[in-house]
Every structure is written in structure tokens, then in C-alpha cells.
Structure 1
Amino acid sequence: MLADAANQVIEDWVSRHGRGREQLLPLLHAIQNAIGYIDDGFVPLLACALNLSRADVHGVVTFYHDYRRRPAGKHVVKLCRAESCQARGGAEVEAAATRIFGVPMGETRRDGQVSLAPVYCLGLCAIGPNALVDGRPIAGVNGAALDRIAAEIAA
């Protein structure tokens, strides 16, 4: 069923935008937006549709951190790992988030409610450490902010 949905997105995309190599990144975004992640089974479909090798497609999917290869949780908490946020206590925030949300970095909690993921710069360097919670930026993250985020997610 997932492959059928992916095929539909691919066919629609190719009919509107063509089959060039330059279509891979935006098509991957379209699939992730429609399905939620890029399943490994989609790689051959994309390679065939865009006349690329499977290695080319797999390399792009695994290189860019924004492409998920498994379904994300209902809520996605991304913590900045860039140098500025790390210098301002990012490692401590990450350790606290792992404890508070009950999920290791880069994973989704078993109940499917929360994914904790790294992000490499949100552009709020002067006021870090920073997070992106369900697409909403939060600056100056500390333990109290994580508790508020956890309460929002639980509600």
C-alpha cells in the first residue's frame, strides 16, 4: 500500500515537473510530506522514475538529515547540535530531553507520540540552545522549557 501511494506521488510529480536529476530532492520532500517518511522500498521506484541509479537515490536519502527513513512520532522535537548551541549547554539539554521524553536522540518513542531528532542549526545562534517542536522554533531551551514542551505534547 505504501508503494502504491509513493508511486502515485511520483507519477503526479513526474507528469508536472519531468524526470531530470534535479527533481530528486523536491520529489523526496513531496513523498515525505505525503507519506511521512522515505521507505527503503521507495528507492528503486525513484531511481526508475528519474533514470538514476539506486545508489544515487540511496545516497541522497541517507546524506540529508531531514529525510526520515522511518515514520516519525506524532510530535517531533528537534534539538540543535550546531557549535553555538553546544557551547551554550546543548549537550545538557539533549540529555535532559532524552530523560524527559523517554526516547534516545534519533529515535521515536514506542508509543509513537514523540520523535527526538538532531538538527544542525536553526539560525538562532545568539539565543541557544534551540529546538524546533512540530515546526515551531523555541529559543533558549532549558529544563523548564523541556518540561513545558512535554506538558504540551501530553495534552
Structure 2
Amino acid sequence: MTTQASWNQDSARQIIADKKQMDGALLPILHALQDHFGYVDEAAVPLIADELNLSRAEVHGVITFYHDFRRHPGGRHVVKVCRAEACQALGAGMLEQHAKKSLGVDYHGTTKDGNVTLEQVFCLGNCACGPSVMIDDKLYARVSPQRFDSLIGKLQGGR
């Protein structure tokens, strides 16, 4: 289960200050904010822009370009389905459709109960054992629709 801090401007300012001297600091700052809060709050955009001498549009453009960055809090658990070619060849397309239907959300969506956010990735580095899924930070191989349901059931019921 992923646990992030609630949005806090002082914490965000500290994260930005800690990374602003890095070469190409924008992406490390965005990743650090997302790691800490679980998303990049809209209120962070002017803070980052001011510190890095960028326009708000430039910061916003990077956040919206990369699908890894969320602009709203995610679910308590993040489920990532691999869509790379090797996993596709092993049935990821069917798993992908099943996951969306089973959870009732599309990619980047969160279930109504706030429990699960569904994300797509394009390689989990587990190509020989696909289709692969990552739940929070744990990798699962050879995930069938039935195994997916079992894994999700454990998230929902704590079994």
C-alpha cells in the first residue's frame, strides 16, 4: 500500500529547494513531489516556475506530457499493467481489457472507493514472464485475468 503525505506547501517548497540546483532540475523535482505526495498538486506549478525561472506553461506542459505524473491524488494502491510488446505477445491485451472492466476505470482512473488507481507502463523488465503487473512496488508475472482478480481481491479484502 502506498502512503503519501497530504499536500503541504512548506514541504513542497523544501523539496523544490533541495533539488533546484541539479542539472535539469524540473524532472527530479516533479518526481520527488510525486513520490512524497502521490501526485503533483496544481499549487506546485507556480512554486516550481518561480524557483527554476520557467513559465507556468512550461512546467504544466512537462507535467501533462509525461503520463507518470498525476495531477490528483491516486488510490491507496497503484496497479500498473505492462503494455510492452513482449507482454502483448503473451496476452496483455486481454488482461488490460479485463483490468479496466473489473475495476470500472480506464488508465489514469481511480476506483470510486479510492482503493485502486490503474496505470499503464511500457516495460516492467519482466519480458520473459508476461503479462506482468506491478501493484504498488511489487512485481507479478504471468498474470491471467483470474490471477488479476485474486490480487485485486487481496487489496480490497485484506485477505
TM-score range, shorter chain: 0.7 to 0.9
- Look up the SS of the partner of 1:111 in the other structure: coil
- Paired residue for 2:3? none
* Percent of paired sites with the same residue: 43
- Paired residue for 1:89? 91
Aligned pairs for 1:49-88 within 5 A: 49-88=51-90
- Look up the SS of the partner of 1:118 in the other structure: strand
Cα distance in structure 2, aligned partners of 1:40 and 1:149: 33
RMSD between superposed Cα atoms in Å: 1.9
Q: After the TM superposition, which parts of structure 1 deviate over 3 Å for at least 4 consecutive aligned residues?
A: 16-21
Q: Which one has a larger percent helix, Structure 1 or Structure 2?
A: 1
Unaligned 5+ runs, structure 2: 1-5
- Look up the SS of the partner of 1:67 in the other structure: coil
- Paired residue for 1:37? 39
- Paired residue for 2:106? 104
Residues 12 and 132 of structure 1: is their aligned pair in 2 closer, same or farther, counting only changes over 3 Å?
closer
Scaled by the length of structure 2, what TM-score is found?
Answer: 0.85
The answer on whether the counterparts of 2:82 and 2:121 sit within 8 Å (CA) in structure 1 is yes
CA drift at 1:80 = 0.7
The answer on whether the counterparts of 1:81 and 1:90 sit within 8 Å (CA) in structure 2 is yes
CA drift at 1:17 = 4.1
Scaled by the length of structure 1, what TM-score is found?
Answer: 0.87
Cα distance in structure 2, aligned partners of 1:21 and 1:51: 14
Cα distance in structure 1, aligned partners of 2:33 and 2:120: 21
Residues 18 and 42 of structure 1: is their aligned pair in 2 closer, same or farther, counting only changes over 3 Å?
closer
Deviation per CA, 1:19-45, whole angstroms, max 9, x where unpaired? 456221111122112222012232121
| Amino acid of the structure 2 residue aligned with 1:25 | L
The answer on whether the counterparts of 1:6 and 1:31 sit within 8 Å (CA) in structure 2 is no
Cα distance in structure 2, aligned partners of 1:74 and 1:104: 17
Unaligned 5+ runs, structure 1: none
| Amino acid of the structure 2 residue aligned with 1:111 | D
Pick one of 122, 127, 132 that aligns with 2:124. 122
Aligned pairs, how many? 152
Cα distance in structure 2, aligned partners of 1:17 and 1:133: 28
